[in-house]
Structure 1
Amino acid sequence: CENVMTCPIRPIGSGNEHCPYDWLAVYDGRDEHSPLIGKFCGLGKFPFSIIGTSQYMYVEFVTSPAGPLLNTGFHFNVGNWPGHVETAGIKHGVCDWLLSSDSLKDSSASEGIFLSIAHWYPPNTSCSYHIKGHPGEIVRLYFPSFRINRIESPILKYEGDCGESLTIYDSDHADPARIIKTFCDTFSRPMEKVDFVSTSPSLYVQFDSKTGSYSGSSLYYWAHYDFFNNTRFGDPVPNTLCDEVMYAWKHPGGRLRSPLNSLIFKRTGGSDVRCQYKFVTDRRLYARAIIEVNSVSFKELPYNSNACTRCHEERVDKLVIWEERDKFQNNLACFCDNIPRAVRVISSADQMNLEMIVQGQHAITSYFKNPNPLFEATYEFAHGPLCGPITLGPSPDGELVFPYKKALAMVAGPMAPPEHHYRREKCIWELKVASQRDLWLNLEKARFAERSCESAKIEVYLAGRLEPRFVVCPENISLARDLPILTTAELGATGADQEPLPVLIQYTGDGQPGKNIFRLVWTELFHLPRNPDGSLSASLLQDGGCDFRCPGDTQVCIPRHLLCNGVANCPNVTHTSTLAQLTRHIEWNLEQLGLLHEANEYRQLVLHDESPEICLRRDLSELPYAKLALITLGLCAMFALLIAILRRMCQGAPKQSGLQHLQEDY
């Protein structure tokens, strides 16, 4: 229709059905073989700009054979539009991307970037961004800039909601069950600088448009993504930020450090960051956990008034080791400053906890994307059933026997798991010593299957010492029977009435029952004080604790009940003392034992606590003669009564026989 009076003015239209005569065709490329953006015709101003996908666009004008009467042709402007930011990834098809951790690393950038579609795209377009990390990594996505507008230049009109949408999936594909967030053009609000974090190595972002667009998406966004190492050392605790559990049967030992995922310092909303590591044994008999803290590296804050003086009470960054005892938290160690050397902490039960606490007000600025560990440690589980009870003493004497006899059936019986027969055992005992007592250890019996210290080793540690006080192994077994006395000062006693910290005795070796056997005996010794003139201070010799002075120049003594008990309780110092030193206390000892009249006979003998000369005489002198006399009289009375009963029975038997014969005659 070309009649100016009767024909209506045709509005701007597109497509073959609307443009049968004259049209203007726009192609996205160099020639007519490129993708067709649209055919346009009609009268008026085209309401949209058209943005191509490259630096080329091809425009074709076609007229009908009749030619127009009223139409005057067309006019358009050409300009430049900023192109895309280079994306570190692999493009598949028109707009599907694989953004991998390797590609980001190759680009030497710390964060990857991708933008919303800023050019034309047809209706029912779907573009995807698969952000893929390595195993053990998680993905973070955030939008520094995000605007949501109404669809301004649609190719196809759409009256419903969500004509265009952007969906984030916690998955490696568009899984409807794993949607984190969906943004729509009609009802969503943009979320700038909010972290969207995956729970797996993949995050999937998909843009969908039902309408298409001539000039770009109505969802304008600038997206950043990066990867964080979320490797765990134990089993993650559900619904926690960074808590882990180390089960002995799954993680028998290994290294430990602050979370590799520094994103946790950004996700607490200003509250303190707390990461708790729980060490749980398999509830074997007497089992325990060992943590060795190798380094602590919290940052010093210039405006922080809290100093690391009272670690448990101060609000500072710290590392706390504790265990639950009787439903109360028993603090074992606390670190809020760098440590010069490794510190080992041993549990007294089957569970122990290590907790890292970082103050929330500076967690992001100090530790977010900080590659250095805040702490490093190692852990292991030790003290199996063969080790027996953990705590020994305090008692005047006692013995430590390996293997523990009551546990042999558990680990060596027909129902025992196979690994027990080949397991390398580590035992750690705590030997408590009474206040104001020296300690003497004596390896009374030992049998090792091999002659190497690698196969078996007994180490004795004093409180606060990193190195063992002495080591016993098959190579020096002959020296183990002359171990030195551990004095009260060495044991670390702080007061006259306070017990020193326990002595740690550690055995490391083959755990196969019967392969290594030893019996370690201990004795608490009373150390004799001396007056300024060198004589013994008799004022402290009380309470029956010093009844026998050990031979030699050791100045120690033992109570009476430890004499002749079958165990050598006095140290063997015969090879380091003179004869005069060994015999100096004979008269005093004999007087205490009531054997002073034998002094001349024993004057040249070395009498120790198990000497036959003492034990035989002492046994005879201490026999309970009164009790023996009463027992003898009782036995004699019972014997006489038994004889009387037998005689009575024998006298009654002939009378009964004569009466029987008389009855037969009648």
Structure 2
Amino acid sequence: MPIRHKRSTSQYMYVEFVTSPAGPLLNTGFHFNVGNWPGHVETAGIKHGICDWLLSSDSLKDSSASEGIFLSIAHWYPPNTSCSYHIKGRIGEIVRLYFPSFRINRIESPILKYDGDCGESLTIYDSDHPDPARIIKTFCDTFSRPMEKVDFVSTSPSLYVQFDSKTGSYSGSSLYYWAHYDFFNNTRFGDPVPNTLCDEVMYAWKHPGGKIRSPMNSLIFKRTGGSDVRCQYKFVTDRRLYARAVIEVTSVSFKELPYNNNACTRCHEERVDKLVIWEEREKFQNNLACFCDNIPRAVRVISSADQMNLEMIVQGQHAITSYFKNPNPLFEASYEFAHGPLCGPITLGPSPDGELVFPYKKALAMAAGPMAAVPEHHYRREKCIWELKVAAQRDLWLNLEKARFGDRTCESAKIEVYLAGRLEPRFIMCPENISLARDLPILSAADLGALGPDQEPLPVLIQYTGDGQPGKNAFRLVWTELFHLPRNPDGSLASSLLQDGGCDFRCPGDTEVCIPRRLLCNGVDNCPNVTHISTMAQLTRHIEWNLEQLGLLHRAHAYKDLVLHDESPEICLRQELSELPYGKLILITLGLSLLLTLFVAILCRMCRGPGHAYHSRY
């Protein structure tokens, strides 16, 4: 009768064999084998039958252990024995299996003699059952080499290990091993890129927005063989849906390494752990942002096209020691896609004046067609982000000329104006402050971030967030580039610098700005409205100079007490009369008179034709 294996509770065991004076009845004796066994080992799982186990992630968690363990058979077993270990994780997890100790010997005490190869084998399957098409590795007693401390990783939540013996054994398995296993969260935020370690793609039509972080599977820091760990997240959209990708980085938590001499001063060049955001522009990598240290607040990065990339780079020499089995995220961010067809072009200017109209008329025509019958509650919340470029040496004035909002709260519609390098908006316009939005202050070239007198400042970002239902919200935002009047050191105007044709009409008030002649009487207020903050003397100080430029100085006495702005009827009517093409009108009048004379002559000749000849004969 076989005796099952027994284990001691310490490193000592006392065994005593007792028989009668006559000896055993059959005189066959017995086989007794002694071997060592790792102490305090309990397999965390459910046992089925003699040696079939279900080792689940839940069982391991209940045991409060970080890794599970199972051992080779150390007692006798009959021929054709098969033992299985189904290592099963939760949905989204993967399994790692490795052998801290592994020895392969010849079968020493077989019960059934076997002369072929692979009398005993251990097979690892990337599956939840022994699938021959999903074999990761097979170890045989006759020709295999043991592989210690090598990771065998599944691609699904299950790994299946099976031990088979054709011979059986009196002394335990010829494949002697200690097997450790653990589970890793392999949750992805987008579509995994095949044949890469951790790359993902976020397509706008599948993942329109959400949160991302460094890979939750910290096993990636152990699988690069000492080379740098690179995980790239690509954000891809289609201009028919959106024109921009927006990433907001909320936290960066790379570990500080005291032995690393590379400081985080030049993020793009230094070999440090970092997070890089970039986009491809004309087949070159255009870096948008780089983070290699903790950030005090969230940073938003906006693409200029329909693709953007976020890449995490970890130096390989310390990836395992710093981040393997580290539960804390190395970075956290959120993303969204913005600027749909209703927003129109993403770039505006530079031009002396212009307008931004929402919704974009061409897109609105498509949205209002017969195929656009969408229930009101299905409309998404629209976000538009425009770049307004301004010419060098020019101030900027924005004027919300027209606005119609469906609701009266700022949650339903909001227009924000951001200046270069500023995290907070310079202006916020919404239904609650619509009256104040019509008298916005002038943004000087210095406010716009101009670095030099001949360099264009960085673009102004204008962002609209509101209901995406066509026709519910609409506005017209007008901009004007203003020429700031230059001054001499003594405070007088530098007239020599006003000869470039950009300063033909000085706006009323003490703003010291002017506009070119072509912006006069164009139906749009291009001069800022400062009547409520200026005195009459300030409002009328430039009347004579303006009249002289327009050729109306002889009427200065009539305009002495008037405030003349760029759309004043007194200027526009005179200008229209002065610009009439009198020479062309005279030529046209003479031409019409000649044609009329010829027509009358021909008509008279026709009337005097046949009838006149008949009367002359009689």
Shared fold per TM-score greater than 0.5:
yes
Q: 1:504 to 1:109 in 2, by over 3 A?
A: same
The 3-state SS of whatever aligns with 1:102 is helix
What is the rounded CA distance, in whole Å, between the counterparts of 1:322 and 1:558 in structure 2? 39
Deviation at 1:219, TM superposition (A): 0.4
Q: Deviations over 1:52-93 (max 9, x none)?
A: 999999999999999999989899899997778211111111
Decide whether aligned partners of structure 1 residues 206 and 81 sit closer, same or farther in structure 2, where only a CA change above 3 A counts: closer
What's the offset of the Cα at 1:314?
A: 2.1
Q: Is the 8 A contact 1:169 1:203 kept in 2?
A: yes
Distance 1:223 1:630, change over 3 A: same
Structure 1: distance between partners of 2:455 and 2:489: 26
Deviation at 1:301, TM superposition (A): 2.3
Deviations 1:305-345 (A, max 9, x none): 32222222222221111111222221111112222221111
Q: In structure 1, how many angstroms separate the alpha carbons of the residues matched to 2:345 and 2:304?
A: 11
1:566, CA displacement in angstroms? 0.4
Deviation, structure 1 residue 300: 2.2
CA distance in 2, matches of 1:531, 1:338: 47
Q: Determine if contact 2:398/2:442 at 8 Å carries over to the other structure.
A: yes
Structure 1 contact 386–403 (Cα < 8 Å) conserved: yes
Matched, 1:504 2:455: no
Secondary structure in 1 matching 2:571: helix
- Following superposition of structure 1 onto structure 2, how do residues 140-151 of structure 1 map, counting pairs within 5 Å? 140-151=96-107
Flag the 1:198–1:406 CA change in 2: closer, same or farther, 3 A: same
Q: Is the 8 A contact 1:53 1:120 kept in 2?
A: no
- After the TM superposition, list the runs of 4 or more consecutive aligned residues in structure 1 that deviate by more than 4 angstroms: 52-84, 417-421, 661-666
Distance verdict in 2 for CA 1:218–1:434, change over 3 Å: same
Contact in 2 for aligned 1:526/1:558 (Cα 8 Å): yes
Whether contact under 8 Å (2:242, 2:338) holds in the other structure is no
- CA-to-partner distance for each residue in 1:425-444, whole Å, 9 max, x for gaps? 00011111111111100000
Q: Cα distance 1:558–1:69, how it changes in 2: closer, same or farther (>3 A)?
A: closer
Distance 1:73 1:664, change over 3 A: closer
Deviates more, 1:316-325 or 1:416-425: 416-425
Secondary structure of residue in 2 paired with 1:60: coil
List runs of 5+ in structure 1 lacking aligned partners: 1-51, 653-660
- The question of 1:193 aligning with 2:144 is answered no
- Per the alignment, in what secondary structure is the counterpart of residue 103 of structure 1? helix
Partners of 1:432 and 1:501 within 8 A in 2:
yes
**Structure 2 counterpart of 1:419, from 376, 380, 398:** 376
Structure 1 residue aligned with 2:427, among 470, 474, 481? 470
1:161-193 deviation per Cα after TM superposition (whole angstroms, max 9, x unaligned): 111111111111111111111111111111111
**Is residue 2:168 matched to residue 1:208?**
no
Q: Counterparts of 2:402 and 2:83 in 1: how far apart (Å)?
A: 78
In structure 2, distance between residues paired with 1:207 and 1:75: 23
- Distance in 2 (alpha carbons) for counterparts of 1:535 and 1:664: 90
Change in CA separation of 1:622 and 1:61 when aligned onto 2, cut-off 3 Å: closer
CA distance in 2, matches of 1:75, 1:597: 130
Write the deviation string for residues 639-659 of structure 1: whole angstroms up to 9, x where unpaired.
Answer: 22322333333333xxxxxxx
The 8 Å contact of residues 411 and 421 in structure 1, kept in 2 or not, is answered as no
Q: What do the CA deviations read for 1:391-416 (whole angstroms, capped 9, x no partner)?
A: 00010000000000000133232223
Q: CA deviation at 1:637?
A: 2.1
Give the C-alpha shift of residue 368 in structure 1.
1.1
Hey, what's the Cα distance between the residues in 1 that align with 2:492 and 2:250? 49
Q: Aligned equivalents of 2:445 and 2:30: distance in 1? A: 107
Query: What root-mean-square deviation, in Å, do the aligned CA atoms of Structure 1 and Structure 2 show?
Result: 3.4
Provide the C-alpha distance between the structure 2 equivalents of 1:558 and 1:77, rounded to a whole number of angstroms. 103
1:220-244 CA-to-partner distances (Å, cap 9, x unmatched) read 1111111111101111111111000
Task: Please tell me whether the aligned partners of residues 421 and 513 of structure 1 are also in contact (alpha carbons under 8 angstroms).
Answer: no
Q: How far off its partner does 1:304 sit?
A: 2.2
Tell me: CA distance 1:581–1:96, structure 2 relative to 1, closer, same or farther (3 Å): same
| Contact residue 239 and residue 340 of structure 2 kept, 8 A | no
Cα 1:599–1:200 shift into 2, 3 Å: same
- Distance change (3 Å), C-alpha of 1:651 and 1:176: same
- Kept after mapping to 1: 8 A contact 2:52/2:83: yes
Rounded to whole Å, the distance in 2 between the matches of 1:341 and 1:61 is 75
What's the CA shift for 1:570?
0.3
Change beyond 3 A, Cα 1:129–1:608: same
Distance 1:53 1:646, change over 3 A: farther
3-state SS of 1:600 partner: coil
Distance 1:548 1:124, change over 3 A: same
SS of residue paired to 2:17: strand
Query: What is the rounded CA distance, in whole Å, between the counterparts of 1:622 and 1:397 in structure 2?
Result: 22
Distance in 2 (alpha carbons) for counterparts of 1:537 and 1:326: 43
| Shift, 1:551, TM fit | 0.4
- 1:70 to 1:589, Cα distance in 2 relative to 1, 3 A: closer
Instruction: Single out whichever of 630-639 and 521-530 deviates more from structure 2.
Output: 630-639
**Contact 2:376/2:469 (<8 A) preserved:** no
Shift of 1:493: 0.5
Tell me, yes or no, if the aligned pair for 1:138 and 1:199 is still in contact at 8 Å. Answer: yes
Q: Does 1:482 align with 2:446?
A: no
Q: Deviations over 1:460-482 (max 9, x none)?
A: 11111111111111111111110
Please show how residues 9-28 of structure 1 align to structure 2 within 5 Å: none
Tell me whether 55-64 or 420-429 shows the greater mean CA deviation: 55-64
- Verify the 8 A CA contact 2:242 2:337 in the aligned structure 1: no
* Greater alpha carbon shift after TM alignment, 501-510 vs 65-74: 65-74
CA spacing shift, 1:227–1:393, aligned 2, 3 Å: same
Tell me, what secondary structure is at the counterpart of 2:408? coil
Larger mean Cα displacement after TM superposition, 183-192 or 361-370: 361-370
Task: Sort the Cα spacing of 1:530 and 1:286 in 2 relative to 1 into closer, same or farther, 3 A.
Answer: farther
Structure 1: distance between partners of 2:28 and 2:284: 92
Maintained 8 Å contact 1:153/1:214: yes
Task: Give the Cα–Cα distance (whole angstroms) in 2 for the partners of residues 233 and 354 of structure 1.
Answer: 13
Query: Any gaps of 5 or more consecutive residues in structure 2?
Result: 1-7
Q: Is the 8 A contact 2:89 2:157 kept in 1?
A: yes
For residue 664 of structure 1, report the CA deviation from its aligned partner: 17
Aligned-partner SS, 1:113: strand
Residues 123/54 of structure 1: CA separation in 2 closer, same or farther (3 Å cut): farther
Q: Percent identity?
A: 91
Q: CA deviation at 1:294?
A: 1.1
Map Cα deviations across residues 574-600 of structure 1 (whole Å, 9 max, x no partner).
111011110110001000101001111
Contact 2:33 2:171 in 1 (8 A): no
* Matched-pair contact (CA < 8 Å) for 2:381–2:465: yes
1:303 is displaced (CA, Å) by 2.5
Paired residue for 1:273? Answer: 229
Aligned partners of 1:466, 1:663: CA distance in 2, in Å? 98
**RCO higher in 1 or 2 (8 Å CA, sep ≥ 6)?**
2
CA distance in 2, matches of 1:476, 1:200: 55
What SS is found at the alignment partner of 1:523? Answer: strand
Tell me if structure 2 keeps the 8 A contact 1:421–1:511: no
CA contact (8 A) 1:53 1:119 kept: no
Q: CA 1:485 to 1:295, structure 2 compared with 1: closer, same or farther past 3 Å?
A: same
TM-aligned CA deviation for residue 302 of structure 1: 2.3
Distance in 2 (CA, whole Å) between partners of 1:642 and 1:662 is 22
Deviations 1:252-293 (A, max 9, x none): 111111101111111111111111101111331662110011
Q: 1:190 to 1:60 in 2, by over 3 A?
A: closer
Contact 1:281 1:288 (C-alpha < 8 Å) held by counterparts: yes
Within a 5 Å distance, the mapping from 1:249-328 to structure 2 comes to 249-284=205-240, 287-328=243-284
**How far is 1:195 from its partner?**
0.6
Distance in 1 (CA, whole Å) between partners of 2:212 and 2:263 is 26
**SS where residue 371 of structure 2 aligns?**
coil
- Mapped to 2, the partners of 1:527 and 1:70 lie a distance apart of 118
Deviations, residues 24-62 of structure 1 (Å, cap 9, x unaligned):
xxxxxxxxxxxxxxxxxxxxxxxxxxxx99999999999
1-side partners of 2:28 and 2:357: how far apart? 111
In structure 1, what is the Cα distance between the partners aligned to 2:31 and 2:128?
A: 47
Deviation at 1:634, TM superposition (A): 1.9
Alpha-carbon deviations, 1:487-543, whole Å to 9, x = none?
A: 111111101111111111111111111100100000001111223333222232121
How big is each residue's C-alpha offset from its partner over 1:587-627, in whole Å with a ceiling of 9 and x where there is no partner?
Answer: 01000101001111101000000000000001101111111
